[in-house]
Amino acid sequence: MADTVIILNARAGTIRDLQPKEVEAQVREAFAGHTESVAVELVEGERFIAAIDKAAESEASTIIVGGGDGSASYAARKLIDSNRTLGVLPLGTMNLFARSLSIPADLNQALDILAKAEPARIDLGAVNGRIFHTLAGLGYFAEVARARAQVREDTNLPFGRYIAAARASLRAFVRPGILELTIDADGGRRDIETYALFIGNNRLSDGGFDRPRLDEGLLEVHYAEGADFGNRMQAAIDLLAGRWRENPAIQSFTAKTVTVRSRRPRLWVSVDGELTRLETPLRFECRAGALNVLMPAASDQRGAMA
């Protein structure tokens, strides 16, 4: 097995928009001379998952996964608490994890940065033992994940995944539902009614879903109150404009551990964009320093954010 294994999801959005074999060739060229040996695999479906499993059990020191947030989340679960390093090549639609790692969406820039990046340890979140790198969400966020899964195959046109993502968000927006929850966090308790709640691994920036730091050892909880159409519309506008922290209907706080209780025995949860159904109560924790990842050099981080 090569020292660096690069596994590309052939069904990832960017690869489907471009020519898969051209992307594979670009990846090989980018890493030539930057690592002792490199293997590149372009696979899809069960073969993609199997390739990650095989690489995680190999002697490879670095495993780079090209795909979306769900692909990166699966790889993180396989490499948690190991000495191997995970690299993230953003080829999906949202790419929230890559943003926080300062890996740009542009393929050539991302490859150039990853080829020179070095390992650093970061935190991971967990809900009922299931690992997540960025966030887990209920209500609206679970509905978005459900709607995205339903329209995911409707991407035959170039960049059709963006249309599918917009359709999914609209579908979830008009049917939010209300959750009656009790939140226990670091000794405090809140009884809330909300249509959207999510818990992030470390604190989000003031104007988006990226995170300035990935090693604070904290969870950040956000929930939206006031489910009438006007409040939901204002929350959506504030979110897009990057001023959602200023919205009084959106409450936020930090904690090291969080338990979410419901009268329902199970709840649908979006975990890094993938829909799953978990038994209640939902127990969230931050696992400090649990994963080794490729991080850009300081100069590359500044370039990616420019």
DSSP 182-208: EEEETTEEEEEEESEEEEEESPPPTTS
Angle between helix 107-116 and 298-305 (nearest 10): 160
CA distance 280 to 265: 5
Helices (H) and strands (E) in the chain, counts: 10, 16
pLDDT at 180: 95
CA neighbours within 13 Å on the CB side: how many for 279? 2
CA distance 42 to 275: 25
Hey, how many other C-beta atoms are within 10 angstroms of the C-beta on 229? 10
DSSP 137-152: EEEHHHHHHHHHHHHT
* Average model confidence (pLDDT) across the chain: 86
The percent of residues in the chain predicted with pLDDT above 90, rounded, is 59
Q: Is the pLDDT of residue 147 over 80?
A: no
Comparing CA positions, the residue from 95, 47, 41, 45 lying closest to residue 67 is 95
CA 216 to chain centre: 17
pLDDT at 152: 54
- Average pLDDT (176-191) is 90
Radius of gyration from C-alpha coordinates of the chain: 19
- Average pLDDT (237-264) is 86
pLDDT at 157: 46
pLDDT at 151: 55
Q: Is the pLDDT of residue 269 over 90?
A: yes
Residue type, 221: V
